Amino acid sequence: GTASDNFKVTLTILGACSIDANDLDFGTNTGAITPAIDAQSNLQVTCTNGTPYSIGLNNGVGSGATASVRKMTNASDSSTVNYSLYTTAARTSVWDNNCTTLPGTAATCVSGTGSGSAQTLQVFGRVAASQPNVTVGQYVDTVIATLTF
């Protein structure tokens, strides 16, 4: 005689992601900031194929900074230069950490789905115009990009 039974063969693939953020450099300027100064940078996101993700950007470390008015600080005298980060080249949607949506509101971060390969996302920056009497020196801020998956 013979006897038989079946068994399942399984494999679970977990989502995994990594992020690499490149610096954003607004270059060099002389005197008052007029007109606005635009620049852009890239984020490289690599997620397992089919993994949904979102990326939020915090307000940076400048004193009194918000998502819509971030602040680069001059180390020599603590003066600041205002700037903003946006999700599109039109610079109409500020990029912040709000990756959840409530009824009647829109998320202000960037979301996507992993492909298994690196995906390039652009960060669009603008230094606000009409900032007179800017002190000479180098202005710096540090923004944290948070990848949630």
Residue 103, burial from CB neighbour count under 10 angstroms (0-12, 13-18, 19+): exposed
Q: What percent of the chain has pLDDT over 90?
A: 79
Q: Comparing C-alpha atoms, which of 148, 137, 124 is closest to residue 51?
A: 148
pLDDT at 104 over 70: no
Average pLDDT of the chain, as a whole number: 92
pLDDT digits (tens, 9 = 90+) for 24-65: 999 998 878 889 999 999 999 999 999 999 999 999 999 999
pLDDT band at 132 (very low <50, low <70, confident <90, very high): confident
CA distance 28 to 48: 39
Q: Whole-model pTM?
A: 0.88
3-state secondary structure of 106: coil
